[in-house]
Chains A and B, each alone.
Chain A
Amino acid sequence: MLALLVFLPIVAFIAILFGAPARLTAIAASAINLALGLVAVATWKNASLWALSLPVLDKPALHLAFGFTDGMSVIMVLLSVIVTLAAVLSGSAPEGKGKLYFGSSLLISGGALGAFAATDLFFFYAFHELALVPTFLMIGMLGRGDRRDAAWKITIYLGLGSIILLAGLVWLANLTGTFNMVEMVKGAGHIDLASQKAIAALLIVGFGTLVSLFPFHSWAAPAYASAPAPVAMLHAGVLKKFGLYGLLRLAIPLVPEGLQYWLTPLLVLLLGNILWVGYVTISQKRLDLMLGNSSVMHMGYIFLAIAALIAFPGNPLARSAAIVLMFAHGISIALLFGLADRIERNTGSLDFADLGGLAKSAPGLAFIFGIAAMASIGLPGLANFSGEILVFLSAFKSYNGTEGLGPVQIACVLSIWGVVISAVYMLRAYRNVFQGPAVKSTQSAADITCVDRLPAILLVLALFAVGLYPNLLLNLLK
């Protein structure tokens, strides 16, 4: 059934290519996928229902294999289907580009689902790449602003990142002698230290580039700023998590000592994400660029959880923390990008200088954006808070009172400063866009319509559900 989940968007894409009504097909496929995803949450432990493995090649043994390895896959699949539905619901294609617009969105979604569901290393990598190509094309063709430069930049960065990653993965497969990810992890523990160090470096840089780890992040903000809304939502919300998922799925269990060796550099880099990019975010003058940068910044917290897991193997909190925050960030950033697109369509601009007082003419939009902004800052009751608090707690899990603060704890203390930074830029953005006197572009701006509220409500519900009752996700991870 997992294969159905993965291939449904791809089949829908082909149907659209051959003339099926684009928007309707996309919405139908995503809705079915959401339903399947919810069923998966309830029944994922039943492997015979979900898993599938078709031999593709004898030497080396490759299988087109899907399956829920553990709760993490379930959560990522759930995140993908929620964000996909929201993305196709809130997207509105330019005249005559419906096929391309919705077709590509579906392809990105199919690729992301395939990557999260695959249990074979080959297809794990391949599906992610499948999702990248339409991302590049969509940004280049339908983006706004400096779309070509942004698209070319993301193509080069992610292309290079993927190749570095591929080097690490091929090496891993070679050392473990299998492409089955489950067996790889089971047979872990016999990789020598020198290889571990090299592979860990390749994986951190490779996956890191895909997740916009500082200093490989500069593709992200311009790309998200120019991307059409569904692409920004799907990439920032879902596809980018592939890198983190890969680190948790492969790097942590397979090359723990290698990662340990790179722990301090990793901590420095993640602080670069949180503090450096945080300050960069504050100075942004456009809402889309600000959101793009904020998304880069928040990756730092998830890396902090990963660092806590590296420093203290078996850290019971860190893994859950990372996964919950991945989910929460995915939902909240998708909501923010979706709303930013709505603001641009209703007012014609995302420049802070051209906006102000939008809350008067569009109170509904202001309310939902407020919730999303609060979630992004990490207000208790919303999903991001559950994630962030778990991250900070997990960083102190290995804290030993007699020895004082270790590197991870110091990094954690510094990262908490990031919460303040988030509050500064989010609240400033909110004030600039929604409060104050109405200006020309916002005076007669339309409010969000009932239909447009649907995707937003879907995402807000997810934020509240996980925020108020994080056990929804944590139970899956037990």
Chain B
Amino acid sequence: MPAYYLEALTVTLGIILLMAETFCSCKSKAWVGISAAIGLAVILCLTFIAIGPDAKPDACWARWPLWNFYNFDSLAKFYKIFALVTTIFVLLLAVDYRKILARFTEVPDSEVGTGEFYALPIFACAGMMWLASAKDLAGAFVALELVTVTFYILVAYMRRNVGSLEAGVKYLILGALSTGFLVYGIAWVYGATGTMSLAQISETIPHLKDTTALLFGVALVMVGLGFKIGAVPMQVWIPDVYQGAPTPTTAFLSVGSKAAGFILTIRFLTPFLANEATRGPVLTLLLIIACATLLFGNLAAIPQTNFKRLLAYSSIAHAGFLILALAAWAPETAVSLGSIKVVSFYLATYLLMTLGVFFVLAQVRIQRDGESISDFNGLGKTNPLLALALTVLLAALAGVPLTAGFIGKFFVFSLAVEAKLWIGVGIGFISAAAGFYYYFSVIRAMWWNAPADDKAIVLPSISKVCIALLTIAVLVLGFWPQPILALLK
């Protein structure tokens, strides 16, 4: 099966569900979310049998010019799987989040007008999948905008909630600004090299006499991409938008959108990092961004009292670690994984940990009606197993050994030490220590503080299964990371 069928199928699924939702008179919209998740799961299985033109060069589809815009290597496959898995979990999370969503949409406490909330993520997913295959800046830009425009709607979806609207406006304005930077940067790159194709850019760079214009373009594009991945200087929107947006959207933003941003960053930077002429300045730029992002994310997270906002800063902090891995650019060798695989692995573990935490957060939000750290007080007394799961997930985010999070950080530090980025290593360790502090402050609230009331949180079965699954995965990958690395082969 040609690989581009995957995106086509995903979009088709989204359109069909939108139509079906419009004409169906069911009161509950849960079925839209469930069928979307099932549909994506089928596409996820198809990913494993999808092939690129190299596998079947004689087929007529293999000669289609589309392949100038679209490639299907192992990295593309990995990030397509990543986007699909994220979206499936987000949809399941959204199904369990119906109650809050219904409260703030058209008719309070009825699910009228909430159906699109389950269909829209599918389109964002298609955009992310396309980004994973980006080979050309024009194509990549269109895919990126598909993701961003979908998020404009998803962020402001709770239209009777001031926080959500505020988040929507902020996201829209800053998103538009970053798009401007991105397009302007692409224009400079095009002006300097005369092509939008990443492969041709790579071939052109050695012949350039002066790379100043090109590097200016790269810097502008990095600002635009920084918006997606949550890196300094475009990180300002993250806390407000994460806090205001509906929790499933926040989860989607912090995992899916970030990963899509990173795969595009990797694709975009590869030609520049492969060439001697541009490598030095680009790496310096990355190192500066990494250090600033690490410091901002981790230090600003310390005084937070709202858990969702804390997760926003934590998402910035993790972006810092990921960029540090890129700043320590290393190709894959016999003894080292190389930056691209490390970033991909880190993102995969980040997906598991973060989505798990959001599942718990959503239930606390629904049943204790709050998102601050104090709303987690005494969870260890009322729901010991849930608290244990959240402890594992948070410890993994903090990077406690024998969890998946530690292995990711460990890879990043190994790369940074290998590249002798001592400033980055130092700031990274300070950040990791700060992370220890703020993640453990939630663990502390759960286990050491008394609950406001003794009512236990009742987990819906979907959330229960997902949390258990994600927690176990975080633990197993903590001492056996091979499965994810096998996906990357």
Known: A59-B337, A170-B410, A170-B414. Is A137-B402 also a contact (CB below 8 A)?
Answer: no
Known: A59-B335, A152-B444, A171-B417. Is A159-B429 also a contact (CB below 8 A)?
Answer: no
Does B432 touch A at the CB level, under 8 Å? Answer: yes
Q: Are A159 and B433 in contact (CB under 8 A)?
A: yes
- The residues in B between 306 and 365 inclusive whose CB is less than 8 angstroms from any CB of A are 332-337
Known: A56-B479, A170-B410. Is A137-B425 also a contact (CB below 8 A)?
Answer: no
CB distance from A328 to the nearest CB of B (A): 29
Does A177 touch B at the CB level, under 8 Å? Answer: yes
CB distance from A463 to the nearest CB of B (A): 33
CB distance from B472 to the nearest CB of A (A): 12
Interface-located stretch among A120-128, A292-300, A451-459? A120-128
CB nearest to B478 among chain A residues: A126
- The residues in B between 389 and 444 inclusive whose CB is less than 8 angstroms from any CB of A are 391, 395, 400-402, 406, 410, 413-414, 417-418, 425, 429, 432-433, 436-437, 440, 443-444
- A contacts with B: majority SS: helix
Q: How far apart sit A140 and B449, CA to CA, in the bound complex (Å)?
A: 9
* 8 Å CB contact of A140 from B337, B395, B444: B444
CB distance from A140 to the nearest CB of B (A): 4
Q: Are B432 and A57 in contact (CB under 8 A)?
A: no
How many residues on B have C-beta within 8 angstroms of the other chain's C-beta atoms?
A: 36
Q: Are B402 and A129 in contact (CB under 8 A)?
A: yes
Known: A59-B334, A133-B400, A137-B443. Is A163-B481 also a contact (CB below 8 A)?
Answer: no
CB distance from B330 to the nearest CB of A (A): 11
- The residues in B between 5 and 36 inclusive whose CB is less than 8 angstroms from any CB of A are none
* 8 Å CB contact of B447 from A57, A128, A140, A167: A140
Does A130 touch B at the CB level, under 8 Å? Answer: yes
CB distance from B434 to the nearest CB of A (A): 10
How many residues on A have C-beta within 8 angstroms of the other chain's C-beta atoms?
A: 40
CB distance from A136 to the nearest CB of B (A): 8
Q: Are A133 and B395 in contact (CB under 8 A)?
A: yes
Q: Are B448 and A151 in contact (CB under 8 A)?
A: yes
Does B380 touch A at the CB level, under 8 Å? Answer: yes
Does B152 touch A at the CB level, under 8 Å? Answer: no
Q: Are A64 and B479 in contact (CB under 8 A)?
A: yes
Find chain B residues with CB under 8 A from A147 CB.
448
Does B485 touch A at the CB level, under 8 Å? Answer: yes
Does B480 touch A at the CB level, under 8 Å? Answer: yes
CB nearest to B428 among chain A residues: A167
Q: Are A159 and B440 in contact (CB under 8 A)?
A: yes
Q: How far apart sit A148 and B450, CA to CA, in the bound complex (Å)?
A: 12
User: 1/0 per residue A146-167: CB within 8 Å of B?
Assistant: 0110011001100110011011
Find chain B residues with CB under 8 A from A123 CB.
479
Find chain A residues with CB under 8 A from B335 CB.
59-61, 177
Find chain B residues with CB under 8 A from A170 CB.
410, 413-414, 417
CB distance from B377 to the nearest CB of A (A): 12
CB nearest to A57 among chain B residues: B481
Q: Are B482 and A56 in contact (CB under 8 A)?
A: yes
Q: Are A163 and B401 in contact (CB under 8 A)?
A: no
Does A174 touch B at the CB level, under 8 Å? Answer: yes
Find chain B residues with CB under 8 A from A100 CB.
384
Known: A137-B447, A170-B417. Is A60-B336 also a contact (CB below 8 A)?
Answer: yes
Find chain A residues with CB under 8 A from B388 CB.
17
Q: Are B401 and A148 in contact (CB under 8 A)?
A: no
Find chain A residues with CB under 8 A from B337 CB.
59-60
Known: A56-B480, A59-B334, A141-B447. Is A126-B436 also a contact (CB below 8 A)?
Answer: no
* 8 Å CB contact of A141 from B380, B418, B436, B482: B380
Q: Are B400 and A167 in contact (CB under 8 A)?
A: no
Q: How far apart sit A59 and B401, CA to CA, in the bound complex (Å)?
A: 18
Q: Are A57 and B485 in contact (CB under 8 A)?
A: yes
| Residue among B401, B429, B444, B482 with the highest chain A CB neighbour number at 10 A | B401
- The residues in A between 383 and 419 inclusive whose CB is less than 8 angstroms from any CB of B are none
Q: Are A127 and B402 in contact (CB under 8 A)?
A: yes
| Residue among B384, B388, B433, B481 with the highest chain A CB neighbour number at 10 A | B433
User: 1/0 per residue B186-208: CB within 8 Å of A?
Assistant: 00000000000000000000000
Q: Are B432 and A163 in contact (CB under 8 A)?
A: yes
- B contacts with A: majority SS: helix
Known: A133-B395, A170-B413, A174-B418. Is A148-B479 also a contact (CB below 8 A)?
Answer: no
Find chain B residues with CB under 8 A from A127 CB.
401-402
Q: How far apart sit A299 and B286, CA to CA, in the bound complex (Å)?
A: 45
A-B contact count (CB 8 A): 91
- The residues in A between 74 and 112 inclusive whose CB is less than 8 angstroms from any CB of B are 99-100
Q: How far apart sit A152 and B438, CA to CA, in the bound complex (Å)?
A: 12
Find chain A residues with CB under 8 A from B417 CB.
170-171, 174
Q: How far apart sit A152 and B440, CA to CA, in the bound complex (Å)?
A: 9
* 8 Å CB contact of B448 from A58, A129, A140, A160: A140
- The residues in B between 434 and 489 inclusive whose CB is less than 8 angstroms from any CB of A are 436-437, 440, 443-444, 447-448, 479-482, 485
| Residue among B332, B384, B443, B448 with the highest chain A CB neighbour number at 10 A | B448
Find chain B residues with CB under 8 A from A64 CB.
479
Find chain B residues with CB under 8 A from A177 CB.
335
Find chain B residues with CB under 8 A from A126 CB.
401-402, 406, 479
Q: How far apart sit A163 and B414, CA to CA, in the bound complex (Å)?
A: 14
User: 1/0 per residue B60-93: CB within 8 Å of A?
Assistant: 0000000000000000000000000000000000
Q: How far apart sit A116 and B20, CA to CA, in the bound complex (Å)?
A: 61
CB distance from A135 to the nearest CB of B (A): 12
Find chain A residues with CB under 8 A from B391 CB.
133, 137
Q: Are A141 and B448 in contact (CB under 8 A)?
A: yes
CB nearest to A159 among chain B residues: B436
CB distance from A43 to the nearest CB of B (A): 27
CB nearest to B420 among chain A residues: A174
Find chain B residues with CB under 8 A from A173 CB.
414
Q: Are A129 and B433 in contact (CB under 8 A)?
A: no
Q: Are A56 and B481 in contact (CB under 8 A)?
A: yes
Q: How far apart sit A151 and B336, CA to CA, in the bound complex (Å)?
A: 38
Q: Are B436 and A57 in contact (CB under 8 A)?
A: no
CB distance from B388 to the nearest CB of A (A): 8
Find chain B residues with CB under 8 A from A167 CB.
413, 425, 429
User: 1/0 per residue A362-379: CB within 8 Å of B?
Assistant: 000000000000000000
Q: How far apart sit A127 and B336, CA to CA, in the bound complex (Å)?
A: 24
CB nearest to B395 among chain A residues: A133
CB nearest to A126 among chain B residues: B401
Q: Are A160 and B433 in contact (CB under 8 A)?
A: yes
- The residues in A between 291 and 316 inclusive whose CB is less than 8 angstroms from any CB of B are none
Find chain B residues with CB under 8 A from A151 CB.
444, 448
CB nearest to A141 among chain B residues: B447
CB distance from B233 to the nearest CB of A (A): 27
CB distance from A80 to the nearest CB of B (A): 18
Find chain B residues with CB under 8 A from A166 CB.
413, 429
CB distance from A223 to the nearest CB of B (A): 14
Q: How far apart sit A65 and B444, CA to CA, in the bound complex (Å)?
A: 33
Q: How far apart sit A127 and B401, CA to CA, in the bound complex (Å)?
A: 7
Q: Are A57 and B406 in contact (CB under 8 A)?
A: no
Q: How far apart sit A226 and B444, CA to CA, in the bound complex (Å)?
A: 16
Q: How far apart sit A155 and B394, CA to CA, in the bound complex (Å)?
A: 15
Find chain B residues with CB under 8 A from A60 CB.
335-337, 414
| Residue among B395, B425, B479, B480 with the highest chain A CB neighbour number at 10 A | B479
Find chain A residues with CB under 8 A from B336 CB.
59-60
Known: A128-B401, A130-B402. 10 other contacts (CB 8 A): A59-B333, A122-B410, A126-B402, A129-B401, A129-B402, A159-B436, A163-B429, A163-B436, A164-B429, A170-B414
When A and B form their complex, which 9 residue pairs have the shortest distance between CB atoms, in order from nearest? A126-B401, A140-B448, A129-B401, A159-B436, A126-B402, A174-B417, A163-B433, A59-B337, A130-B402
A-B contact pairs, 12 of them (CB 8 A): A56-B481, A56-B482, A58-B485, A123-B479, A125-B401, A127-B402, A129-B406, A130-B400, A130-B401, A170-B413, A174-B414, A174-B418
B-binding residues in A (CB < 8 A)? 17, 56-61, 64, 99-100, 122-123, 125-130, 133, 136-137, 140-141, 147-148, 151-152, 155-156, 159-160, 163-164, 166-167, 170-171, 173-174, 177
